[in-house]
Amino acid sequence: MRIVVLGSSVYSETACAMAVRLAGCGHVPVGALVLSTFERGTLLRKLAQWGVRDVTRYARRKLIPNHGNAQGIVHNSYLQPWLKNGSGIFRSLRGVAAFYDFPVVVGTNQNAPDSIARVRQWSPDLIVFTGGNILRKPLLDVPRLGVLNVHLGLLPEIRGMSSPEWSLLKGVPVGVTIHYLDAGIDTGPILRRYEFTDAAGCDSLTDLRNRLIAFGIEKIGEVVASLDQGAITAIPQTDSDTDNDKDKDNQFFVMHEWLRARATERLTQSRIGAAAERMHG
Amino acid sequence: MNLSSELKQGITASANTDIPATSKDNARIQNAVTDQVARGLKEVTGLLRGPQRVVPVIRKLVSDKIHLTLEQRHLYSYTTTKRDSRDVLQSLLQWIIEAQRSDGGIAAYYSLLAGYSKSYPEVTGYIIPTLYEVARVTKSDDAVVAAEKATQWLLSLQMSNGSFPRGLDGETQPSVFNTGQILQGLVHAHRETHRCEIRDAAIAAGNWLVAMHQADGSWSGRGAYQGVAHTYYSMVSWALAELSEHTADHRYGEAAERNLDWVLSHFRPSGWIDGINLSGHPNFLHFIAYVLQGVLECALLRRRKDAIEAVAKSAWVLMRKFETSKFLPGAYEADFKRGHSFTCLTGNAQMSCIWLRLFEVTGDLRYLNAALKMNEMLKQIIPANGRPGIAGGVCGSYPVWGLYQPLRYISWGCKFLADALLMEQRLTHALDAYGFEALQCAS
């Protein structure tokens, strides 16, 4: 199967791990299309998300390979199994691409005509999306099967942003959904839903997110294998997100820190509950 | 708040039924435009009378321009708390107290060009509940004193038929909308003070509103702004529903529901509401939010599920727009299309109040989430310091030259932001005290 990986940056750990995972399943990507790291919008978004100190630290770690621990440190330690490369780590998608021999193209917009033309040249059966722009129809229509996404929540109940946090607050199971992207926000046909049963083992929301990302990358191997064998059918989501009907709308938005703090409390409670169960069990 | 045109606009021309409809409309538009030009000129001459205001004007214009140029709105802009809500509440109270004139009324605005306006009856009326609530939360005696002075001034303005006047300049034309907004203040003032004369004034105002009601449930003709019916008069229904609850007199509640039905007939499937009906103005978010807030509060008092659902639909559309673009345009065309490029800060604060109330009613945490972010945005925009009239004030528009109340810090903006912050505190404290499980049971 011919697979293209889309990523938010050449330094995206998720994109690197995904490419390695696919290669490990016998599907070395035929190409990768990533956004430019120093694009103003991306940089500002990262600054707002992480703060100046963390962004500087992260950039230094990525750009100066010998800085710090010679073994390499990864932002999401749960991706380490895929990012390990002998005694070092894959620091960028270029490293992964050099190792497995596939091209990496850097652009400022994945929906731009030249980006789409480039992807079309690779004649993909499947695109695996790990980050970047909200994809528009011209790009979604390029691959024969569709564009796969790992959503960090169980669809169709929890769509949109901050899905793990909203799952915790709403008291619904935490998990990942592997689905095709369509024009809506997380409304495309579902291939597989996987409940994540070890949320109680996470010590923070960041830890939970990191583990869910790794969990999703692990599971995508199964899905791609099933797709390759024609052993899996995508199931359309039962409700539509195209109208304004609030009752049918399961979209969630970026969570404010006050609510995030309450979601963290939920996580702590479940950890305490699990520990108590172990003690008494 | 009809301030911009109610100052000058009479009702006689548009209420004259001998004039054909199109001529009447043209006359209304012409009057509105003339009024706006006159108002603009008057404010510019204010700068000549107070040249010391030149520096703050320039500073504000430059600061908004710089922010607009450099600011990057993104998903995470308003998700962290950078200003404590209690501090902002305190500065809003300070702004309102400084805007209270010697007669006891609250100025409508502080103009960067002309300084404080005269006392404005409408806003003085519906700021009273906010003052009492701030007093309760902050233990501020100043807020209670300000509310009492405001009430006393309003009592002196009431006309013999029970109505209250329009405008700023001692006009004698009765106004349905102003009477409704003042009625809210009177009901709350009576609840707090139990003074008989306040109760009598509230009942007289309520009786006048009921007498002015049209058969279709609207208020139009004499006493209505520009002589025509408006859906944002749902705020008047809310006041009548409050009076009904307070006095246990069903007549007011029935009148409120008749208007509620009339307003509900103007809701489109898209969530848009027709009948805001203001000639010479775009559909400012402030008025859209008025319709929604009036309907919602009235519906809650009258236990009208259909009305709550209608508001929830419109509020959801606006919430989704805010969440996806981090910005609510200050005015829209029908069906929430073609949003303007400025934002109406008062409308934003009102939307926050509506989302918080909907959260309270439905238990849907997304409303709370949106309101927390909206409040954060508003807190970041209002000036932490500066001269009286500016510090702690809420501008009509952001940027300050936007179409809604340009170059003015407006008292009703402070009122609605204070309401939103008070509600945020009440609900977040309740959630911390009783937990999300209680919320899930309730919803």
CA distance A121 to A4: 11
Q: What is the pLDDT of residue B10?
A: 30
The structural domains of chain B, ordered by start, are 3-442 (1.50.10.10)
If residue A43 lies in a helix (H) or strand (E), which one and from where to where?
Answer: helix A40-50
CB contact (8 A) between residue B428 and residue A258: yes
CB contact (8 A) between residue A41 and residue B74: yes
Q: What is the pLDDT of residue A271?
A: 74
pLDDT at A209 over 70: yes
Q: In whole angstroms, how far apart are CA B60 and each of B46, B99, B386, B387?
A: 17, 20, 11, 12
Residue type, A203: D
Taken in order B243, B129, B124, B421, is the CA torsion positive or negative?
Answer: negative
Contact predicate A93/A35, CB 8 Å: no
Domain span including residue A190 = 3-280
Q: What is the pLDDT of residue B19?
A: 40
Q: Which chain A residues touch B if contact means CB-CB below 8 Å?
A: 40-41, 44-45, 48-49, 161, 166, 169-171, 244-246, 249, 251-260, 262, 266
CA distance A147 to A3: 10
* Cα-Cα end-to-end distance for chain B: 34
How large is the average pLDDT for residues A50-61? 73
Q: What is the pLDDT of residue B41?
A: 77
CA distance B396 to B378: 12
Find chain A residues with C-beta within 8 A of B438's C-beta. none
With tokens 């109406």, the residue in question is B344
Task: Please provide residue A2's backbone torsions phi and psi, each rounded to the nearest 5 degrees.
Answer: -90, 115
CB contact (8 A) between residue A259 and residue B440: no
Q: What is the pLDDT of residue B305?
A: 96
Q: How many domains does chain A have?
A: 1
Mutate to test the interface with A, among B336, B366, B380, B434 (most CBs of A within 10 A): B366
pLDDT at A242 over 60: no
What residues of chain B score a pLDDT lower than 50? 2-19, 442-443
pLDDT grade, residue A61 (50/70/90)? low
CATH number at residue A131: 3.40.50.170
CA A16, chain centre distance (Å): 11
pLDDT grade, residue A56 (50/70/90)? confident
Q: In sequence order, which residues have a C-beta less than 8 Å from that of residue B346 and are 6 or more positions away?
A: B286, B289, B394, B396, B404, B405, B410, B412, B413, B416
Find chain A residues with C-beta within 8 A of B316's C-beta. 244, 246, 249
Q: What is the pLDDT of residue B345?
A: 96
Q: What is the pLDDT of residue A48?
A: 67
Q: What is the pLDDT of residue B44?
A: 75
Q: What is the pLDDT of residue A69?
A: 45
Three-class HEC string of B104-149: CCEECEEECCCEECCECHHHHHHHHHHHHHHHHHHCCHHHHHHHHH
Chain A residue nearest residue B80, CA to CA? A257
| Closest Cβ opposite residue B365 in set A45, A169, A249 | A169
Closest CA to B133 of B76, B87, B77, B89: B89
The torsion defined by the Cα of A32, A33, A36 and A37, in degrees rounded to 10, comes to -40
CA distance A94 to A102: 9
Ordered DSSP codes for A162-177: SHHHHHHHHT---EEE
Task: Please provide residue B79's backbone torsions phi and psi, each rounded to the nearest 5 degrees.
Answer: -95, -5
How close A41 gets to chain B, by Cα (Å)?
A: 8
Contact predicate B182/B205, CB 8 Å: yes
Chain A residue nearest residue B366, CA to CA? A252
How close B195 gets to chain A, by Cα (Å)?
A: 41
Q: What is the pLDDT of residue B76?
A: 66
- Interval A156-187: pLDDT, tens: 999 999 999 999 999 999 999 999 999 888 99
The three-class DSSP label of residue B222 is coil
- Interval B17-76: pLDDT, tens: 334 555 666 666 667 667 767 777 777 777 777 778 888 888 888 888 877 776 666 666
Task: Label the pairing between strands A3-7 and A126-129.
Answer: parallel
CA distance B73 to B93: 29
CB contact (8 A) between residue B436 and residue A262: yes
Q: What is the pLDDT of residue B396?
A: 95
CA distance B98 to B91: 10
pLDDT at A126 over 60: yes
Contact predicate B162/B153, CB 8 Å: no
Chain A residue nearest residue B369, CA to CA? A256
The torsion defined by the Cα of A64, A68, A72 and A73, in degrees rounded to 10, comes to -100
- Interval A63-84: pLDDT, tens: 665 544 445 567 899 999 999 9
- Interval A18-38: pLDDT, tens: 999 999 999 999 999 998 866
Q: In sequence order, which residues have a C-beta less than 8 Å from that of residue A191 and are 6 or more positions away?
A: A148, A178, A179, A180, A223, A226, A227, A232, A234, A235
Chain A residue nearest residue B71, CA to CA? A44
The fraction of chain A above a pLDDT of 90, given in percent, is 65
CB contact (8 A) between residue A251 and residue B320: yes
CB contact (8 A) between residue B369 and residue A262: no
